[in-house]
Every structure is written in C-alpha cells, then in structure tokens.
Structure 1
C-alpha cells in the first residue's frame, strides 16, 4: 500500500492538486479512527500521500530511507503562494543566518517551524498525532490554520524512526486484545527486547543529532542544515505515570543559550497551558529535561539558533491503547494523540503570531555569532600531523554539521593544550587545521569543541562532556586569539593511495592509527590475505615505524593470485597510502620475517545479544562490525550461551548488559579461552566476570581493602541518620557520574594501546571501578590525581582513583580483555572505536 513511494526517492512525491473535495480526515481515511489503535507505518505514509494529493497547502518529499528500506518523509505545509516560492524562502532564511551570502529579502520573511514526531519508535503517539496535525494544517476549510500559514512554513517529519515505530506497532497489533485491557501487568503493556525505542541498529536516535552515526540522522540533518528553522519541537512520550511535559525546559541550561531562547520557551509554554487549562489536562514544566547535552532534538536546534523544545506525553510503550494511570484514571491512546496534536498546533500558532519577533531575534543571533562568539576560545587548532585517518573522520563530522574549517598559516600563539590541560605558547604550522569561532554556526562549533562544558547545575540528564578532540584522539589546542584561515584543508586523493603500491616490492607497510586503518585491515583479511603487525618499533630503509605498523609481505601471500593488484585496489578504496619496501632487513629492531612481526589471526567472532544484554550496547557492537568495520559476525542469544559451539569461533564479544551466567557457563568460557579464545567484555558485562573464580578482575585488590570499604560504608550509613529529607537529591549527586572524560595512563608497549599515545581520554559513563589486576596487564589506568572534563561527584571521583579501565588477562593460549569503559558508547567516540579494533585484531 505504499503506492510506489520507493520509486520517488528525493523527488516531490505528489504535486498539490487544486481543490480539496477529496481530502479526508484520518478517521475517514484509515481503517480505524485516530487513536483507536496503532497505525502501521505504511498506512501513515499512505495518509500523508493522500493529503498531498488532495490539498494545495502541502508538498511531500522523501528525504531518505532507513536501514530496513522504509521511507523517511518531510511534509512542507504553508499557503499555495508560499509553497510556490519554497526554495526562495529557504535560501532567504540561510542568508539571514549568514550561511549564504547576500541580503535577506523582506518579502520572503516567513517563519519556519519544524515538528519532529516519535524519534523513539515506541513513543508512538507522536507519529499517530502527526496525521491529525497535517490534516488540521493542510485542510483548506480550516481558516484558522490558513491564517497561521500566511507567514509560516511548517516542516513535519511524521516518523523519525520508522524501523523502531514499525517494530513496536506491529508487535502491539499482534498481541493486543480485541478489547483494550488497561491493566499495566498484561502482555500488551510489556514490550519485549529490544523494543521499538531504537532504530535498526538499536541506537537511540535522540542522542545522535550531533554525531550522526546513523543513516536516519545523516539524511535528516542534511535537510535540517538546508533550512535552520526558527522553532523546532521534538514530540516524545515518557512513562505513563507522568502527565504532559512542555517548555520551558529544566535547568541546567548550557551557558551559550541566549536569554531570548530561554524567554521565548516560556511564551510557548504559556500558550500550551492556555489550551491545557481550558480542557483540565494535567501538565508540568521546568523539570527533568534540561538543555545541556548537545545531541538531542531540543539542544542541537537550540545551538543552531532555534527555539528547541521537547514535548513529553505520558504513555510510552507501556501505554498501549489504554492503561490505568497512578491517579486511577484510564489514559487512552486517543488522549495521548489529542494532547500532542494540541501542542503541535499551538507551536505553529505562537510562531505565526510572533513571526516578526522570531525572525528579528534569529537574525540578531547569527549576526552576534559571527561578530562576537559567545565562548572563551576563538580559534581551535588541530595539528596537521595527526593521523590522517583521524583527521579525515573528524572533518567529515564537521562537514555533516555545517562547521567551517580551513588551513592555518604559520604563527605562534598562547593556547590551551587539550592533552595536559595547561596554557602556553605553541607554534601553529602551515597546514595545521583551524576552526574559527567567527562563523554562522559559531555556537555549535564552540559547544562541540570546547575542552569542557560549564555546568551551572550538577543535576543533569545525560553525559556532561563530549569534546571532539578527545573523542577523536587528536592533538589539539584552543586559543582566545582570532586566527585567520588561509585556505581549504585538503587530503590526498584515492589515486595517490593506489600509486604507493609498487610492483615487485618485498613488502608493503601501512600505518595503524585510526579506524580507516582498521577497516583496511578488515578488508585485507576478508580477501584472505595474510597480514602481520609489528610488536615493537623498528626502522627500515631509513625510516622509523611504531609498534602496530601493518606488514604485508609478498612471501606470505605468494600463493595469492593477483596479490599486488588486490592490495592496490583495497588501498585505493580505503584511501590508504602504503610504503613499498624492497628488503626485509631492518636498520633497527626486528626484521620483517621475525616472529616479532606477529601474524594477525583473522577473528571469527560471536556476539551475544537478546535478553540480558543492553539493546543499545548490543546495537553499538553490531553497528561497529557492519557499518564501520565491514566484518562478519555470528549473533547469539545470551540466554543460550551454553548452546553455542565456541570452537567455531576464536573471539567472543559480550556487549554491555546484566548477564545471568551460571558456574558451568563461566567454566566453559574459561576452558575455551585457555584453548586460544579471546573474550572481550564491555562496560557492565564486566560485572558478570568480576570477582568470579578464574577471572582476575575485582573491585578490591585485597581482603583488607574490601573490609575497609565495608566499614566506611557502614560509618557513612550511621552518619546519615539525621540527614534532612529535602537534601536527598543533592547528596546523591556526590555519588553520581553521569558521563565525564577521564585521562588515562596507557602502556604503549601493549598491543591494546598500539596506535594510541601514552595518554588516552576515555568517556566514562558509569561508576564501575576495579582495582588494578594481579598477574595481568593493566593497560589503561586512572591515577591518583586524574585530569577530568565534565561533572563527577566527589565520592565517585574518589572511587575512580587508582583503578584499571582497560586490561588484559592472559589465560592459557588465550586472553580476556576487560573494557570497563565501553569504547563503543553511542558510536561517536572515534578513538574508542579504534581501541576496540586493537582488542579485536592485535593479540
């Protein structure tokens, strides 16, 4: 029933037709009344096509497809006159923002409102409501909305996460009783793993706006950057035990949010309250949902000049079609749809009534961004001799976010050193990459690049640090001085990479320093080429090479037909410049034929999934292998671990999770490791191994340490007997670690640290902490006085001191890799993805 929508990718789906005699409401068009049951995604698409075919107020476009090949839609709604000049309005808005050159045309002064529905698929009332909203706006018989559209363009995204929405709605329709049962304990209110919240790769798309790891985010943000609206509302659901939440947002606000943005949220909230008060609906504001972490659907638009807001309806996946709420009333799907429909339309109303004020303040916002950036640092310097793969990945993210950068001219400045947290004079070389804060998206630039984000209140909703130089493992500096950009920053082309593979060479050497190198290695192994890596530094033909350098010899691959052609092809595809070597005799260190040039054993990988694992955690592993590495894996249900023939694999990955491993399960894993297997545990998966017989990971180094900790806990419990009730939340944050960056000391001589420096910045998102292990390699550790970016409670910080974060235990012929901080978290910590590649390939 998709009416050939897949054949119309990136084109207007249906041209508006004159008249509206055939326009039907959702109740008339669908096989059910809106809010009566859940609408399959293909019927939602059909309805939007129907409206576009029967109203001259709408243009419908498909801007992309999901991993499961469902269409991603945008509906542009305004008057026919505005739609006829839609691209001119868009370009005029970009001139207002300074993204395009030229003076804005006052005849094109149209406010832009963007409404996003159900980024979490099992918060389905948003997508259900989108059909009512588009009908109300596109119906020519509705004169009130017609008046709003005279000076407003509304962009509706009816389903940001079609794969998750479909997973949830199909499950709901399959298990729900004919007559809705509001009892919260029955099965139609208990969604199974992994749930519809997440997309195909089980990522939370509401945490992906800035990082754009997922195909939905990448395609959506490409369009968003072409519009940069004045208002963005993100329509969600929260658990059914809460009423409706709308703006203004909770504190803390990021300090770069302007007074105008904060104050106008209040105006919008009051307009919503007018309708909720009239109907007697419960709501709350200024609680829970803050504006700090930059990758949400409210903060990212805020940092690009919009009034960004989250709306949260009580319901969520538990809501079903009807559920008994804590006030003993029955909350129905129709209630939830009606509330979202109301706030969406109220948002458009406020934008229209205040169109001139919105545009004037929006213009001032961007003018001020380019004249006087908000933050302390005015230029960010990324050294040009950083690994090219990391620089390339970094600039690709800047490009996705519309952040401008260029090449530096040689000079000397005083700057902050990201690596050690100190200030001093540095030399800026010709060819270093620089990012000026004097640009249209100045605020977003500074939010993402600042070494640390200032937190006005430690009661926050998400991670508190994310600085991109740390995430990408780059040598970087920030200066309060304004430096000019001397030209474009460029990279060698693919043909140059191919030309480095000379015929008849003894061997080819490749760097090992970035995910680009890891994906190159994975491709070589998939083509059955034998690859070695240097276990220690060496020098050959007058050049020095670090440990981890990949070595591809002609001798090892002499039976491989077209060996050189294959290497040249793969190097070109990955943009890898190889060094062609004519001898195996090293000037220093081990020769290329030495056992020190260890063979990379192709990993045969099993990954645990299902109940017991975190859906996000498993999805991060799945995404890494399929989308970043391009390498095959076998996926197994964690509850069936005892039925896996581990002898078919040499690598077992345990994603984040709360595992239920029996003693026999653990014994089988230990025997398999002793026989040559490698076990990799990420994040909370380590808690299933810690303290167990045969595993060296433990919270305490000695029995005395454990006893002392128990006594300290008992004393703290006794001391707290007279604490006041009102201060409980503030006391809890002392033990809190919502997400901060810790500087680790790395053992560069261990393969787990190859390609990294002796200092690694790890994103820590939990209070898991373990003592340095006995009879093991403690590769990445936190010392006594750690350098930290972001918020960490005082008690939590004490717990983190002198702990192991990344370690390796050798057992028989195999090993166990403990990754206490999950390096794959949300898929955006580029240096963490590379560290995981070490765990996978270098043994």
Structure 2
C-alpha cells in the first residue's frame, strides 16, 4: 500500500478511536509496566484526559498528588499569576538524582563558567525544560502534560530508569494558568453529550478575548526577553537557575494544519544564533519525525515559523547556549472538529503532543554528551569573543526609566554597575543615580548584544514576529556602546528605587517635574485627593533650577487640606512614586511666574476603555495593564455589547484601541460623537485612524503604498505582500516639546514602535504637527524600500477639536507589550493635558 495513503488511513482510524472507549492505552506505551501506587490521571480528575478539558486547578491538584506519591518528582511553587494561581514546576529525575539535586544543578551551571573544560560530561545528566500551553486556548499541551507526568512517575523498567538517571526534567505543565482556566471553562460548558464536530458550533468560537492570553490579555510567548509579567519572571528565574540544554514550547495552530516542529525557515534565524544550534535542532527533529511516523501522524518542519525574535520561548534559549524547540499541533479548539484531514479530536491532539514530549527526551538522552559539549563551548567561545569596554544607559531627567531597564537586565543575571562619576559620550551625559554601566566582558554579553542592537540589514524580508526591540530605544534612554569602564562603580547586587529628595514644608507651593516615568501616578493621586494642581505651559526658573514644560504646580494655600496635611500627603506621594517634589517659597520666578495664566488648572480624569468583539485584545490589555499596574489609575472597561446602555457622562476620556471590522457601529459612533462635542476626549490608536476619517471625527489624508507586483510568481505572491507590511520596527520622530503631548520629554527626538502601514500626511500648519517622522526615520528593524520612501514627514499623532471636546489619534502603539516605557507618557499626556492641546 502507498505509504502516504496508509498514513492517512491510520491517522483517521486513530482519530475515530479517540472519540470512543478512551483509555490510557490510547496514549501510553504498552510495552512497559506501571507502578500501581502512582495515581492515574482519572483517579484524581474523574475522567481520562481528552474527555474533558482540564482546568488549572485540576492540573495543580494532580501534580501535587504525583509529587506526594513519587520520589522521582519534586514540586516547587514559584509564585502567583495576576489571578493568584500558583506557578508550579515539577523537577523530575531519578530518586538518586533527587537526593543530590543541588550538586547536580551546581555542576551543570558550572558548564557555563570558566574551568568547565575539567568537567566530566560522560557522567553528567542533561537538563530539559518542558513547557506546555503558554497560550491558554492551545490546551492539548497541558492536557498531554498530565499524561507525561504520570508516565515519568509510574513507568517501570530499564528504559525509563536510564532516562531518569541521565536526565533532569524541568516540567512546567501550564505556562499560562489564567488563560488555561478561562478556555477550559468555555470548552467544557459548550460541550454536548453527542460531540458535534461542526466548526460553526459555539464550542469552537470563544467569546472575546478568548483564552489565548493571560489576565491582562498579553501574549506571554512574547515576554521571555522583556520579562514584564509574573509568569515570565518565574520562567526566566528557573532558566537561569539551571541553564537547560533543551527548552520545549508546546503550542497549537489552525485546525486544518498537521504538526510542526523546528527548525523553522532557515533564512529567518537571528544572525547571533550559532549555526550549530540549528544543526542540533534539525538532528533532534529526526527523533520527532521517527516518533510521529510510528503513530502515523502527519507533520512538517522548516516552514512558516522562525527563530528571529528572542522574546519567544522557542528562540530565547538560542542566545543562551540552549536549544529552543517549538511544537505546533493542529487544534481541535474544543473536543472534535471537521478539518481538511478528517475529524480532528482533542485526544488525538493530546497524543501528538505527548509523543513529541517523549521524542524530545529520547533525543536529549541519546545526544546528551553532544548537547552538554555544545553548551560548554557556547560559553567558552562567548568568553573568547567578549569585547572590552562597557555599555551605558540613563536619563538625567528620568532615573526611574533607567531603573526599570536595569530591572530587566538583573532578571537575566546581567552584571550591572553604578556610575561612579559623571561622564559624557557624544553629547550624552551619564550621571550617578540616573544611569548605569554594563560591562561588555561578562557571561551574557551575547544576550546583551541581542537586547541592545539596532539592526537594519536582513537576509529575509518576512518575520513571524517583530524585527526590532532595542531596549534602550524602547525606554527612551541615552545610550552608548562606548562607555569608559573606569567610570563603573560597584556591581549592583540588589536594585533599589531611584534616590529622591522629599519636599520640605512650604507655605507657598510645591513643584513636581513631569519627566520621571511615575509622574502620572503621582499626579493622579494628587488630583483624586481633591488637591488643586496646575500644569506649566512654559519653562521657568527659580533661584536654583529650571523647570521644564509640563511641570506640575501645587499651591499650598486655598486648598481643602491645611498646609501640614498637604505636606504630609505629598511626602507620601513622593515616596510611593519615587519622584522628587520641590518646595518653593516664592512665586517670583524667571520666565512665567507661578500666578501666570500659563499655569493651567487640571481636573481628576475618569477614563474608560472600549473592549469586546472587534477590539484587539492585546492592545486593549496593554492599556488596562498600564493604568492598573503601572499608574494605579482606575479605568473602566466598557464592553461594546453594552455600550448603548452606558452613561458616558461619567468619563472625561474614552480610549478606542486598535480594532477590526465594524467593531463600533453607527449608533455607538453617534453616541461617541455627541459625548465628544459635550466636552469628552476620545483617544484612538492605529486603525482608529480610518474610523475617525470615515465618521468625520477627523479630516485625515492618508498616503498609500501603491507598489505593483512585477516579475512576481504565483508562488511568491504571499512573500511579496508580506514584505510590504511593517511587522514591528523602530522609527525616529522629531518633537515639538512645547506641545502638551510631548511634555516630560527632554530631547527633541523620540523612538516610536510601529507595526502598521497607516501613513498620515502632515498638516500644512506646522504647530499642528508636534510629532513628525524625521527624514531618515529608520532606527532598527525591517521596512520595505517603498514604505521607507513614504514614512519621512508623515505624522504619528493628530489632534482635532470637536465642539467642546477633543479627538486624539496615535497611529502607533505607545504601550507595546508593556516594555515600551519610553512612549507611555504620550498617552498619559493625552489623558491629563488633552484640553490644553
């Protein structure tokens, strides 16, 4: 019989079998015996995995039960999610290894240090970090983890004993507890007794925002490098505790797909990744192929996905001497679904994930010495190529942003030092207290290069994710790769917040500069306390210092609180926000005086965020997270399904994130327009631009890329179209610092993250263009030549007055993935100073 035809018949028979009379023999090898004292999944869950979607509580319960029953398993609780779910890790190895686990860990980490040539690789276990379902609605991974953990705990015989003796498995059964819980509820509550594989059934279409993301709707598989989320922080801590040789990341893709394993598209591998890394990935892939061949599952490799952005779980290890591996299983998105390959059942997807998990362990064991040697040589070669000198970054007006970047580096075990004394490099000033020095000659200098690089040349024009992420640009920091190491002070073991000066008591007024990152947090507290505050529309100077545009002035008199209460409250605000507040005893200042009309009164802001069907969850979640976690500001999430009944008069500002389709209908549009005309401020992002233009909120002129396909074959058409997109790159804009949208920025240039091709023509009136892309805007990342010709001179910001209100547009994402600190203040300026625009 034709081999391909046989595989298809076998595939269909396996899927049909998975729908009826399901038992563990469908998943588990039957040529081994199992310890009867180890509880089976169904003993704790009440069902065999695949019959229902396990929720996170059930997963944790079963893993705790296994750890109590098996001496092969040690369970760690490393922290909590935003929804207070435990972030557990199972360390699985032989009982003898468990007794010497810390010594094994220390010896393994020694592979990455000087002197590693003396280590005996022949007698050293390999370390494998296996992680499942970082996207919560890609649930076959976590459900396979239930079976994999059982097998590792209960299987008996020489084969499993050899595996566990030679392998330490760092087993994370649920990378995304909050999303998994959300999705399991959906899949289970919509399951019928008679499973219906019709793709149009409600079971296969989650309600917004779906279970893919975490609590704040972040795609956590983009956070391995910036490490902004609690789930990511424990993963990175585990990684640096052990430095695993292999890290696997189990995902799902569309129902009509089969099964993918890496390597991905070779031309889209990051240049800093060693070629040997991809060769080893390919060799490991032969084990996956053999295992999937054995059960008749279709698969493919070296297509679609890539290893470029180091913020993904399967790529992050590649810059650390490890091998990252992505698995993608065609998804049933419920319990069974009709597909191009026949009926795809949930149990079948679990079986494939289980199979790949164990082909990984087989490869790790058989390639053990090879993988250990690769890791040792990675760090040995890195030490040889390490350069002298240092990086430096800082912001003399915003110590807090520099501190938050230093936080990321410390999470990655990067050596960070104090600045001993002020120095200048190419007109950039680095001061003690607001700057840091990072030596280049250190263990993780390759990771540092990946974090700090600005790259504009590429071998491929397509990327699975963003093409640029330079962290100093993201944080809007002064940066140099040529800092004198002689100016480096003590190595920082534990970061503390920026040093601030607490205000003395004043009988006249207090001044708070708007430069520090946490200034909006402080202002929000002040205004909500009922304290009157004003913003300076022009710079001024007292006897000691100059205060810039956007400085906040708090009068000491004519307040509802007395002078003593105000002082005590402002001291608390300064300590909480790590921001300096200055007492001043006279209103007679150089430039505008404190009683001038150039100080404009501010009001407490009440902000709403449009969410629901049609709104991009990532963009909405970034705004929610920014308000809730960074600035301690309340924000009301207005679901579009209930918008017609909402009382908009409660809000000063409404934010419209990026959306698709007709997310905001005609009735909602009319209601928003009336609200704006009555004094509200509507702030839109990205493709809100077209909606504003279409519905007469703004008069915008777009510039289109009309490039025509010439000498492009049918096969090349997708690559041609894809190359004209901007998947995520960094561009330079010039700023009019006197405009309220730019208050708090010390320079006249700003790096913006852009992932759209929305090009808006500048206004003929110059002062209406406070942000404009420069003539040579590309700082880092990929953009087609055609788009790069269009971008200079276009504008990423627009403001329009409408009645008594305001309409504000940002064509770019100012809050990208929670690590784009440098432009968060643009949104805050729109919130607090919109009426002054």
TM-score by length of 1: 0.89
8 Å CA contact 1:745, 1:758 repeated in 2: yes
Going from structure 1 to structure 2, the CA distance change for 1:492 and 1:540 (only over 3 Å counts) comes to farther
Look up the match of 2:14: none
Shift of 1:502: 0.8
Shift of 1:159: 0.6
| 2:334 pairs with one of 312, 320, 335 | 320
8 Å CA contact 2:125, 2:166 repeated in 1: yes
State the distance in 1 between where 2:702 and 2:740 align: 24
Shift of 1:788: 3.5
Going from structure 1 to structure 2, the CA distance change for 1:495 and 1:671 (only over 3 Å counts) comes to closer
Going from structure 1 to structure 2, the CA distance change for 1:206 and 1:723 (only over 3 Å counts) comes to closer
In structure 1, the residue corresponding to 2:491 is in which secondary structure?
coil
Look up the match of 2:25: none
State the distance in 2 between where 1:519 and 1:426 align: 28
Q: Work out whether 1:335 is the aligned partner of 2:324.
A: no
| 1:736 pairs with one of 689, 700, 725 | 725
1:782-793 matches, cutoff 5 A: 782-793=773-784
8 Å CA contact 1:698, 1:773 repeated in 2: no
Could you report, residue by residue, the CA deviation over 1:255-301 in whole angstroms, capped at 9, with x for unpaired residues? Answer: 11112211110111001111112222111011111111111001112
1:327-406 matches, cutoff 5 A: 327=341, 329-373=342-386, 379-383=390-394, 385=396, 387-406=398-417
How many residues in Structure 1 have an aligned counterpart in Structure 2?
A: 795
Going from structure 1 to structure 2, the CA distance change for 1:427 and 1:531 (only over 3 Å counts) comes to closer
Shift of 1:24: 2.5
Could you report, residue by residue, the CA deviation over 1:705-735 in whole angstroms, capped at 9, with x for unpaired residues? Answer: xxxx6xx95xx66x75x74223323422442
| 1:799 pairs with one of 790, 793, 803 | 790
Going from structure 1 to structure 2, the CA distance change for 1:506 and 1:93 (only over 3 Å counts) comes to farther
State the distance in 2 between where 1:142 and 1:571 align: 64
Q: Work out whether 1:303 is the aligned partner of 2:310.
A: no
Going from structure 1 to structure 2, the CA distance change for 1:585 and 1:653 (only over 3 Å counts) comes to same
Which stretch shifts more, 56-65 or 214-223?
A: 214-223
Shift of 1:146: 1.9
1:596-635 matches, cutoff 5 A: 596-635=598-637
8 Å CA contact 1:89, 1:108 repeated in 2: no
State the distance in 2 between where 1:565 and 1:537 align: 27
Going from structure 1 to structure 2, the CA distance change for 1:477 and 1:649 (only over 3 Å counts) comes to same
1:482-631 matches, cutoff 5 A: 485-488=488-491, 497=500, 500-557=502-559, 559-560=561-562, 562-586=565-589, 588-631=590-633
RMSD: 2.8
Shift of 1:106: 6.6
State the distance in 2 between where 1:29 and 1:383 align: 53
Shift of 1:154: 0.0
State the distance in 1 between where 2:116 and 2:771 align: 49
Going from structure 1 to structure 2, the CA distance change for 1:225 and 1:553 (only over 3 Å counts) comes to farther
8 Å CA contact 1:696, 1:773 repeated in 2: no
Shift of 1:254: 0.7
Look up the match of 2:97: 82
Shift of 1:491: 11
Going from structure 1 to structure 2, the CA distance change for 1:798 and 1:556 (only over 3 Å counts) comes to farther
State the distance in 2 between where 1:403 and 1:686 align: 41
Look up the match of 2:819: 828
**What residue ranges of structure 2 are gaps of 5+ in the alignment?**
1-33
Going from structure 1 to structure 2, the CA distance change for 1:217 and 1:734 (only over 3 Å counts) comes to closer
Which stretch shifts more, 682-691 or 266-275?
A: 682-691
In structure 1, the residue corresponding to 2:250 is in which secondary structure?
strand
Going from structure 1 to structure 2, the CA distance change for 1:485 and 1:363 (only over 3 Å counts) comes to farther
8 Å CA contact 1:390, 1:472 repeated in 2: yes
In structure 2, the residue corresponding to 1:741 is in which secondary structure?
strand
In structure 2, the residue corresponding to 1:283 is in which secondary structure?
coil
Going from structure 1 to structure 2, the CA distance change for 1:76 and 1:453 (only over 3 Å counts) comes to farther
| 1:817 pairs with one of 791, 808, 812 | 808
Look up the match of 1:753: 742
| 2:204 pairs with one of 185, 189, 198 | 189
1:162-241 matches, cutoff 5 A: 162-241=177-256
State the distance in 1 between where 2:601 and 2:291 align: 69
Going from structure 1 to structure 2, the CA distance change for 1:99 and 1:83 (only over 3 Å counts) comes to farther
State the distance in 2 between where 1:448 and 1:29 align: 44
Which stretch shifts more, 80-89 or 400-409?
A: 400-409
State the distance in 2 between where 1:323 and 1:495 align: 55
Q: Work out whether 1:277 is the aligned partner of 2:293.
A: yes
8 Å CA contact 1:21, 1:54 repeated in 2: no
In structure 2, the residue corresponding to 1:591 is in which secondary structure?
coil
Shift of 1:410: 7.0
Look up the match of 1:418: none
Look up the match of 1:647: 649
Look up the match of 2:442: 439
Shift of 1:411: 10
Q: Work out whether 1:118 is the aligned partner of 2:144.
A: no
| 1:141 pairs with one of 156, 165, 175 | 156
TM-score by length of 2: 0.90
Look up the match of 1:60: 75
Could you report, residue by residue, the CA deviation over 1:742-774 in whole angstroms, capped at 9, with x for unpaired residues? Answer: 101111110100112211110001111222246
In structure 2, the residue corresponding to 1:270 is in which secondary structure?
helix
Q: Work out whether 1:265 is the aligned partner of 2:267.
A: no
Shift of 1:113: 0.5
Going from structure 1 to structure 2, the CA distance change for 1:313 and 1:436 (only over 3 Å counts) comes to same
State the distance in 2 between where 1:402 and 1:99 align: 16
Going from structure 1 to structure 2, the CA distance change for 1:292 and 1:580 (only over 3 Å counts) comes to same
Shift of 1:481: 8.7
Look up the match of 2:84: 69
8 Å CA contact 1:436, 1:483 repeated in 2: no
Look up the match of 1:678: 681
State the distance in 2 between where 1:489 and 1:63 align: 24
Shift of 1:556: 4.9
State the distance in 2 between where 1:648 and 1:142 align: 68
8 Å CA contact 1:58, 1:138 repeated in 2: yes
State the distance in 1 between where 2:422 and 2:584 align: 37
Shift of 1:837: 1.3
In structure 1, the residue corresponding to 2:185 is in which secondary structure?
helix
State the distance in 2 between where 1:390 and 1:480 align: 19
8 Å CA contact 2:454, 2:779 repeated in 1: no
In structure 1, the residue corresponding to 2:244 is in which secondary structure?
coil
Which stretch shifts more, 177-186 or 485-494?
A: 485-494
State the distance in 1 between where 2:428 and 2:585 align: 39
Shift of 1:383: 4.4
8 Å CA contact 2:391, 2:483 repeated in 1: no
8 Å CA contact 2:388, 2:441 repeated in 1: no
Shift of 1:688: 1.5
Going from structure 1 to structure 2, the CA distance change for 1:70 and 1:549 (only over 3 Å counts) comes to same
Going from structure 1 to structure 2, the CA distance change for 1:100 and 1:429 (only over 3 Å counts) comes to farther
Could you report, residue by residue, the CA deviation over 1:365-398 in whole angstroms, capped at 9, with x for unpaired residues? Answer: 112223314xx99632224635212111111121
